[in-house]
């Protein structure tokens, strides 16, 4: 009977009907229907806080919905602890990572699986399988390294490998490329194509239009916890999707920024870091313009700005702020020098998850004393200031007394950004500024940078999203293996030139 006639409707792999989920004070999902077919990639699209991760958590068994029905593989599911979800082939890669930091990649892959597969005898086999899988994925990842020694990109790769180790029928990816660059992203996309051919269903969350275009068979748009519409990807434009997502028309353009390069605000001479991730780098950034830094994962671009802020040990070289040598950079000192830093890894480095948004936004990173003072001296003014800032960034829900841990991923990022507006600062270091934030919020962040540079601040943007860093920066450095490979200005700032220098050897550094 199965597939005997073309007209027999094939039951989807996953069929959710009327799914609702409420958290204190928020209806995260309201009567959502979702079908995912075997062999299809189904994108969930929606603003920060729309309910995408909550829906994924329901599918993966992390939350049981308050109401609704759940069918998977033609069977009604009445109870779904995460273990069972994995056992029946539902495999999630979450937005916030789940690896155990003190274990190796390999150990993390085996975790919870050894017993199930019959103990010691299988361990050797599983190790072989883990290595083969990582090879097959084409990820440049050492299975023997400890997770806490890995960059965020490598942790992401390990998460993906972990999800693929068992038998997978439905793979769930919540913003998997947020910390991958072009090359790893390409590998992931090849893998996705293979899985689709093997009839695996995929749920994919992304805020990046290019990816949605490249991958999606269908798109379900969520807004305020409700399903607005499910569309065939081929039959809708970016504009359609954004309009459905926000309920209004939005221009997807980058703002026109007037750069007026002025004094040299940050000047780095022959900088080499203890771990060798940055070697003999010469670099400067002027006030009144955005300086971009592009490069592949592991090229040292994040480490460079982290070193300026005082988060990476320096082996040799000199940093000057406004022409004055800045010895032994440290975060607290950096703030006094007017330097702000926005980490890409907002959860681990940025936020106190058990504290309210208000405290997190006013507590300038690692500067707890000044926060306490601020809080004690002018609580009312603080509240009003933060409320205004978070309103500009469109925090959802717009409640600054909510704890940061209850926010969606993108809204956490907004809280981090809100911090910069609470102080008199002159140098802004952004590491992957738009990771995980929706189209509307991205535009807010770009507008925010525009205001900063037009008010004569120096803004340095490290980004793996080429269109972003090209559009925003006035001058652009490309890093390769810890060194500056190229500096591009004006007309020379093209995607082709950047890509070419990703792979070419560091000629400029070598000659010097």
Ligand X SMILES: Nc1ncnc2c1ncn2[C@@H]1O[C@H](COP(=O)(O)OP(=O)(O)OP(=O)(O)O)[C@@H](O)[C@H]1O
Q: Which residues bind ligand X (CB under 6 A)?
A: 23, 26, 28, 46, 48-54, 95, 396-397, 406-411, 438
Give the C-alpha distances (Å, rounded to integers) separating 425 from 291, 457, 501.
17, 8, 33
Minimum distance from residue 21 beta carbon to ligand X (Å): 8
Which residue number, 239 or 405, has a Cβ lying nearer to ligand X? Answer: 405
C-beta of 52 vs 152, nearer to ligand X: 52
SS (H, E, C) 361-394: HHCCCCCHHHHHHHHHHCHHHHHHHHHHHHHHCC
**For 40-164, where are the E strands, in sequence order?**
41-45, 67-72, 75-76, 90-93
Minimum distance of Mg ion from residue 216's CB (angstroms): 17
CB 299 within 8 A of CB 479: yes
- Closest-approach residue to ligand X (CB): 410
By a kind-dependent CB cut-off of 5 to 8 A, residue 154 interacts, out of ligand X, Mg ion, none, with none
177 contact, one of ligand X, Mg ion, none, CB 5-8 Å limit per kind: none
Q: Residue 26 or 271: which CB sits closer to ligand X?
A: 26
Q: Which does 506 bind (CB under 5 to 8 A by kind): ligand X, Mg ion, none?
A: none
Rounded distance, CA 312 to CA 289, Å?
Answer: 25
**Complex with ligand X: residue 29 or 36, whichever CB lies closer:** 29
Nearest residue to 100 via CA among 180, 162, 174, 164? 162
Backbone angles phi and psi of 500, in degrees to 5: -60, -40
**Least distance from ligand X to the Cβ atom of residue 54, Å:** 3
Query: Least CB distance from residue 446 to Mg ion, whole Å?
Result: 21
Contact partner, 474, from ligand X, Mg ion, none, Cβ < 5-8 Å per class? none
Q: Which residues of 305-328 are buried (b: 16+ CB within 10 A; e: fewer)?
A: bbbbbbbbebeebebebbeeebee
Smallest gap from Cβ 100 to ligand X, in A, equals: 21
Which of ligand X, Mg ion, none does 51 bind, CB closer than 5 to 8 A by kind? ligand X
Pick what 26 binds: ligand X, Mg ion, none; C-beta below 5 to 8 Å, kind-dependent.
Answer: ligand X
What is d(CA 333, CA 349) in angstroms, rounded to the nearest whole number? 17
Of the pair 48, 464, the CB lying nearest ligand X is at 48
The distance of closest approach from Cβ of residue 84 to ligand X in the complex, given in angstroms and rounded to an integer, is: 21
CA distance linking residue 97 with residue 479, whole number of Å: 27
CB closer to ligand X, 266 vs 437? 437
| Min dist. Cβ of residue 44 to ligand X (A) | 8
Listing from the earlier edge strand, what are the strands of the sheet with 264-273? 281-286, 264-273, 314-321, 324-325
Are 463 and 292 spatial neighbours (Cβ–Cβ below 8 Å)?
Answer: yes
- Pick the closer one to ligand X by CB: 325 or 398: 398
The item of Mg ion, ligand X, none sharing an interface with residue 411, based on CB under 5 to 8 Å by kind, is: ligand X
Q: Residue 48's binding partner, choosing from Mg ion, ligand X, none, with beta-carbon cut-off 5 to 8 A by kind?
A: ligand X
**Contact residues: Mg ion, CB under 5 A:** 53, 95, 408-409
Least distance in angstroms from the C-beta of 389 to Mg ion: 22
Which tokens sit at 63?
């939350």
Residue 413 in contact with residue 360, Cβ under 8 Å?
Answer: no
Q: 448 — alpha (psi -120 to 50), left (phi > 0) or beta?
A: alpha
- Please state the closest distance from residue 191 (CB atom) to ligand X, in A: 23
Nearer to ligand X, 163 or 281 (CB): 163
Cα-based distances in Å from 295 to 81, 139, 499: 41, 17, 9
In this complex, which beta carbon is closest to ligand X, that of residue 396 or of residue 493?
396
Cβ atoms of residues 260 and 450 within 8 Å: no
**Which of the listed partners (ligand X, Mg ion, none) does 416 bind, with a CB threshold of 5 to 8 Å by partner kind?**
none
């Amino acid at each position: 009977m199965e597939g005997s006639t073309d007209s027999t409707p094939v039951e989807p792999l996953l069929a959710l009907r009327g799914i609702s989920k409420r958290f204190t004070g928020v209806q995260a999902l309201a009567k959502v229907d979702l079908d995912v077919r075997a062999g299809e990639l189904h994108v969930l699209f929606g603003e920060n806080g729309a309910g995408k991760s909550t829906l994924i958590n329901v599918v993966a068994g992390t939350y049981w919905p308050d109401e609704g029905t759940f069918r998977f593989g033609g069977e009604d599911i009445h109870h779904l602890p995460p273990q069972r979800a994995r056992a029946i082939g539902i495999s999630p890669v979450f937005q916030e990572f789940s690896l155990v930091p003190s274990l190796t990649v390999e150990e993390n892959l085996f975790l919870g699986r050894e017993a199930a597969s019959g103990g010691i005898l299988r361990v050797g086999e599983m190790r072989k399988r883990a290595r083969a899988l990582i090879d097959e994925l084409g990820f440049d990842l050492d299975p023997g390294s400890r997770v806490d020694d890995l960059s965020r990109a490598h942790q992401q790769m390990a998460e993906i490998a972990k999800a693929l180790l068992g038998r997978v029928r439905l793979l769930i990816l919540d913003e998997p490329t947020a910390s991958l660059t072009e090359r790893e992203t390409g590998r992931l996309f090849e893998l996705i194509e293979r899985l689709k051919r093997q009839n695996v269903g995929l749920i994919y969350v992304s805020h990046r239009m290019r990816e949605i275009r490249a991958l999606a068979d269908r798109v379900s748009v969520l807004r305020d916890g409700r399903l607005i519409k499910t569309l065939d990807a081929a039959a809708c434009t970016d504009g359609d999707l954004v309009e459905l997502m926000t309920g209004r028309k939005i221009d997807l353009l980058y703002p026109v920024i007037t750069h007026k390069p002025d004094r040299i605000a940050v000047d780095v001479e022959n900088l080499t870091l203890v771990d060798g991730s940055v070697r003999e780098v010469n670099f400067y950034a002027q006030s009144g313009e955005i300086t971009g830094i592009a490069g592949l994962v592991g090229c040292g671009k994040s480490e460079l700005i982290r070193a300026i802020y005082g988060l990476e040990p320096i082996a040799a070289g000199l940093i000057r702020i406004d022409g004055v040598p800045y010895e032994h950079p440290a975060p607290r000192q950096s703030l006094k020098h007017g330097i702000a830093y926005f980490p890409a890894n907002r959860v681990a480095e940025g936020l106190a998850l058990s504290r309210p948004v208000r405290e997190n936004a006013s507590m300038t990173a690692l500067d707890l004393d000044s926060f306490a003072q601020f809080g004690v001296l002018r609580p009312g003014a603080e509240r009003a200031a933060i409320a205004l800032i978070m309103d500009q960034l469109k925090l959802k829900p717009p409640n600054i007394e909510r704890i940061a841990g209850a926010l969606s991923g993108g809204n956490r990022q907004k809280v981090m950004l809100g911090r910069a507006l609470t102080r008199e600062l002159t140098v802004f270091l952004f590491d992957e500024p738009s990771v995980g934030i929706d189209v509307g919020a991205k535009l807010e962040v770009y507008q925010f940078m525009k205001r900063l540079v037009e008010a004569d601040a120096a803004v340095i943007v490290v980004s793996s999203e080429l269109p972003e860093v090209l559009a925003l920066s006035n001058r652009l450095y490309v890093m390769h293996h810890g060194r500056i490979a190229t500096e591009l200005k004006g007309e020379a700032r093209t995607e082709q030139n950047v890509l070419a220098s990703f792979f070419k050897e560091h000629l400029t550094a070598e000659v010097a």
